[in-house]
Structure 1
Amino acid sequence: MITLYGIKNCDTIKKTRRWLDEHQVEYRFHDYRADGLTAELLATFINELGWEALLNTRGTTWRKLDESVRAGVDNANSAAALMLEMPAIIKRPLLCAPAQPMLLGFSDERYSQWLADIAPAAGQ
């Protein structure tokens, strides 16, 4: 089962959900705010994707942070602490499927390829 991680009111999450529904992709949505985010789950994301990729430094949440807080985020531990405290600062969407590479961000082309790559595994 594919899991889509993000925040319900995010425009890119809404776009992703529309795309998945239009392509009749079965998935489960995990809202960081409603469903929570554990340190273990976040560590899984960081181990595969890297903390730099996960940290959304282009979003409003990051820009609203005090400069001293932003400057203090310079390694995986400090980034993880901030992401656990403020899940809205995690880049989204994040798609996960068992035994498949995670897919971060929205791209029609990348989603189509990712789904094509996991389709044989889903059929087994």
Structure 2
Amino acid sequence: MPRLQSRNAFANPGRQAPDAHLERALRRIVLAGALLVLALPAARGASAWFGALPLWLLAMPLSSWWALHHFRLPRLQPRPGTNAATRKRRGHAAQARRRRVPVARGGVANAA
């Protein structure tokens, strides 16, 4: 049976696709958390019991969604017409050197 190409930015042919139900649930949780943080000023604050609310409403669901995809990053597609030969590089100037700082010899350091 031929394997279908996924249009997902996180697609990796060597790995198994994540569970569709969990994927959908995490998308909805992330969307709900983002809407709460954007719409309600109280959701941008902190709670004595939970701490920073945007962390729990948005950052934790996003990290769970990322972990569902095995911490893969989207592939960056190279722009057409760019390769190693066509890229401009800086001139081959000499490496910057540190200057020596004169060391004060003898005497006591001045107090500020």
Question: TM-score, normalised on structure 2?
Answer: 0.28
Judging by fraction of residues, say which structure has more helix.
Answer: 1
The structure, 1 or 2, with the larger RCO (C-alpha pairs under 8 Å, 6+ apart) is 1
Structure exhibiting the larger radius of gyration computed from Cα positions: 2
Judging by fraction of residues, say which structure has more strand.
Answer: 1
